[in-house]
Amino acid sequence: MSFSSTPLSSHPLAVYGWDEGWEAEFAPYAEQGLLPGRVVRVDRGLCDVVTPVGTVRADTEFVVPRDPMKVVCTGDWVAVDPEGNNPRYVRTLLPRRTAFVRSTSSKRSEGQVLATNIDHVVICVSLAVELDLGRIERYLALAMSCSSGEALLHRSALSWESGAQPVVVLTKADLVPDPVALSYLVDDVEASAPGVPVLTVCARDGDGVEELAALLGRGTSVLLGASGAGKSTLANALAGEDVMGVQATRDMDGKGRHTTTTRNLLPLPGGGVLIDTPGLRGVGLWDAGAGVGQVFSEIEEFARDCRFHDCAHESEPGCAVRAAVEDGELPPRRLESYHKLVRENQWIVAKSDARMRADIRHDWKRKQAAGRAAGEAKRGRGPWRPAPPR
pLDDT mean across residues, the chain: 81
pLDDT digits (tens, 9 = 90+) for 24-72: 999 999 999 999 999 999 988 899 999 999 999 999 988 888 777 788 9
Nearest C-alpha neighbor of 200 from the set 280, 124, 119: 124
Q: Residue 30 in contact with residue 36, Cβ under 8 Å?
A: yes
Q: Say if residue 302's pLDDT is above 90.
A: yes
At residue 176, φ and ψ (nearest 5 deg) are -120, 80
Q: At what angle do helices 332-350 and 133-144 cross, to 10 degrees?
A: 50
Q: Residue 39 in contact with residue 78, Cβ under 8 Å?
A: yes
Q: Say if residue 317's pLDDT is above 80.
A: yes
At residue 117, φ and ψ (nearest 5 deg) are 55, 50
Higher-scoring residue by pLDDT: 40, 387: 40
One-letter identity of residue 134: G
pTM of the full structure: 0.78
Q: Say if residue 256's pLDDT is above 90.
A: no
Cα 118 from Cα 115, distance rounded (Å)? 7
Cα 204 from Cα 249, distance rounded (Å)? 14
Cα 378 from Cα 312, distance rounded (Å)? 21
Higher-scoring residue by pLDDT: 386, 12: 12
Going by pLDDT thresholds of 50, 70 and 90, the confidence category of residue 290 is confident
Q: Say if residue 74's pLDDT is above 70.
A: yes
Q: Say if residue 124's pLDDT is above 70.
A: yes
Nearest C-alpha neighbor of 74 from the set 268, 223, 270, 256: 223
Vertex 159 angle, CA 259 and 113, to 5°? 40
Mean pLDDT for the stretch of residues 232-251: 72
Q: Which of 151-155, 206-210, 375-379 is predicted most confidently?
A: 206-210
Cis check for the bond before 87: say yes or no (omega within 30 of 0): yes
Taking the CA atoms of residue 216, residue 144, residue 22 and residue 78 in that order, the dihedral angle to the nearest 10 degrees is -100
Distances (CA, A) of 106 to 277, 282, 284: 21, 12, 11
